Amino acid sequence: MARGKGTIVPAVDPSAAQRPGRREVLALYAGTVLAYADMYLTQPILPLLSRDLGAGPAEAGLTVSAVVLAIAAAASVHGPLSDALGRRRVMAGSMALLAAATLACAFAPSLPWLIGLRALQGLFVPGMTAVSVAYAGDRFASAELPRVVGGIIGASVVGGLVGRVGAGALAAHLGWRAAFLVFGAVTALVAAGLGRELAELPAAAGRSWGGAARGMADHLRRPRLLGAYLVGASLFFGWIGIFTYLPYHLTEAWGLSTGQVSSVYLVYAAGVVASPLAGRLTGRFGATALVGWGLAIEALGMAATLAGALPLLVAGLVVLVLGTFTAQAVMPAFVNQTALGNKGSASALYLTFYYLGGTLGSVLPGLAWQAAGWTGVVALCGAAVLVGLAANALLCRRP
């Protein structure tokens, strides 16, 4: 179908939608796992980088923030590109380039080189993460979409765990460069699998990259999509704010060691349960209702971390994770189904807002920590959740 003046049409004929094939869905999940794993490779090995490359903690930490900033900058490019060139080509190609950048990190001669290569990784990550939901929306029947997207979000949680735990284990035994070599090689295998298993979904006739990019302005003018983007920003702001400054609180209040602090992050595993469950429940309760409940549960979990007992704090973190991933598992599918066309750019815009929220959430709660300690961090992150609740209620629920 053509795109006329003032009218946006789907890139793919709805009759092409079908039930997901097992190997096809597993390829989507594997790509998501590796994209997120590569993103977090340096987080557990920052002390080793400081020692081997002669850098302080703040400088070594740039190997994490460089990826996040690059993802936020590049997410708005990959979606329109996939609208114009096709989803499979962009996903498989981006993962192949991500594999090359990951392997190159193993040979970085200095910290500036490593930071630059990490930023290069971040430029390719959205080629998978920003396009996978759009591919699912084009490929699978609407009744199956929430379940598949819930699985994709669950795979993102698994990827974060695999990246952190796997990189730490490899670096402890073989050095930090080995972590990049192993993950780069596995990413290359996954890229090949994506090219083999995903269906070739042609772009709409006459669709150009510039036309797809202009579709982003249409998305921002739609209140329901704008509300979804604000929800995404608030979700990641609160999430990264809590978990970035949590080690300071655990160390100061309970004197936990580095190993004990890192074990607390196993609460992430709750997201593996919450994400697919939320996807399955969408059809019964509705997307905006589940998002509202997820945000409310997230806020409750944040409040519980103010408890004076460590077990209650950990329980609060589990509740926070459950709430966060309930909302996050639903919202990307909501964006895909709400967008009238240019679905790749719609998903990319969501990811851009999501990571912009994360960028602010990694900085502003630090100022709150300096001013009011953990209470200040929780208060600021809770305020971000309230913004998400308001956006969901006032914008996403609009007819």
Looking at the fold, whether 36 and 173 belong to one and the same domain comes out as yes
Tokens of 47: 């002390």
Please say which residue of 207, 234, 265 terminates a domain: 207
In 3-state terms, what secondary structure has residue 175?
Answer: coil
- pLDDT tens per residue across span 255-291: 877 567 667 778 888 888 888 888 788 878 899 999 9
- pLDDT tens per residue across span 30-56: 999 999 999 988 877 766 787 888 877
Report yes or no on 360 lying in a domain: yes
Which residue range is the domain that position 269 belongs to? 215-399
pLDDT level of residue 203 (50, 70, 90 thresholds): low
Which range has the worst mean pLDDT, 30-34, 210-214, 315-319? 210-214
Tokens of 70: 């690059």
Strand (E) positions, 65-146?
none
CATH number at residue 36: 1.20.1250.20
CA distance 290 to 301: 16
Tokens of 56: 């302080």
Find tokens 């970035």 and name the residue.
Answer: 244
For residues 343 and 296, the answer to whether their CB atoms sit within 8 Å is no
Closest CA to 125 of 348, 275, 370: 348
| Angle of helix 287-304 versus helix 364-391 axis, rounded to 10 | 150
Please say which residue of 207, 225, 256 terminates a domain: 207
Report yes or no on 80 lying in a domain: yes
Looking at the fold, whether 241 and 175 belong to one and the same domain comes out as no
Contacts of 78 (CB under 8 A, 6+ apart): 90, 94, 126, 127, 130, 131, 344, 348
Q: Is the pTM of this model over 0.75?
A: no
Report yes or no on 9 lying in a domain: no
